[in-house]
């Protein structure tokens, strides 16, 4: 009788973890698509053109890319309305498989949430998914620039008192992976969107990811295949 052996891949040893939310800890795709499909319809856009731009970015940055001639003030105003709408629309928001176990495994290790959501939306979606909110949070209010700018990850590392190159970031989107790499972190891509991206490593879900205290200090990150 043949048995399937588990192969373990070591990502490395790090001082801290920087965690994206949507698509990484929380599956909010249904809510995101509802909100942005309505936005696309209101602006006479093909939703298939809008969706690839949405993931990972703040709403105003998505609008700026899709409507390059529109004043930023109008993007910011409309983004505030969308954020309020998203905060109340959490139907279908669930955890990414393995997220509860993963967050429990890193509770005593330095980690920060680095999300393009504002604080209210982050709380609403983490609560809807039944997930623990990290104590350190870098949200939309914390930064001037949206992912793919590295500002959020740089601020997350600074808030934890570590260098960004001594961090591993978890991300699912092209904008997020680009931002984390630009900050100097190594990146584990999570889920199908990240499979073709240039992350350091990739997992289908958080069920494959293991984080344990390293004897030499910090956290050892491995992947079970």
Which residues are annotated as catalytic? 20, 22
CA distance linking residue 131 with residue 164, whole number of Å: 25
Q: How many CA atoms lie within 13 A of 142 on its CB side?
A: 24
DSSP annotation of 73 reads: H
CA distance linking residue 165 with residue 191, whole number of Å: 23
DSSP annotation of 199 reads: -
Give me the phi and psi of 174, to 5 degrees please: -60, -45
CA distance linking residue 65 with residue 116, whole number of Å: 16
């Amino acid at each position: 009788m043949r048995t399937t052996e588990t192969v373990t891949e070591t990502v490395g040893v790090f001082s801290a973890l920087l965690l994206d939310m949507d698509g990484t800890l929380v599956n909010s795709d249904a809510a995101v698509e509802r909100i942005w499909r309505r936005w696309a319809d209101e602006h006479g856009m093909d939703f298939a053109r809008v969706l690839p731009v949405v993931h990972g970015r703040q709403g105003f940055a998505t609008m700026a890319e899709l409507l390059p001639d529109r004043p930023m003030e109008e993007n910011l105003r409309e983004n505030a309305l969308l954020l309020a709408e998203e905060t109340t629309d959490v139907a279908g928001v669930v955890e990414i498989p393995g997220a509860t176990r993963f967050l429990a495994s890193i509770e005593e290790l330095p980690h920060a949430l680095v999300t393009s959501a504002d604080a209210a939306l982050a709380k609403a979606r983490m609560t809807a998914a039944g997930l623990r909110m990290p104590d350190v949070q870098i949200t939309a209010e914390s930064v001037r620039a949206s992912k793919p700018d590295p500002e959020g990850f740089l601020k997350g590392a600074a808030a934890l008192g570590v260098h960004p190159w001594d961090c591993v970031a978890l991300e699912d989107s092209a904008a997020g992976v680009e931002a984390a790499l630009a900050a100097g972190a190594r990146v584990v891509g999570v889920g199908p969107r990240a499979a073709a991206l240039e992350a350091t490593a990739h997992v289908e879900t958080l069920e494959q990811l293991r984080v344990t205290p390293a004897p030499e200090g910090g956290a050892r990150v491995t992947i079970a295949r």
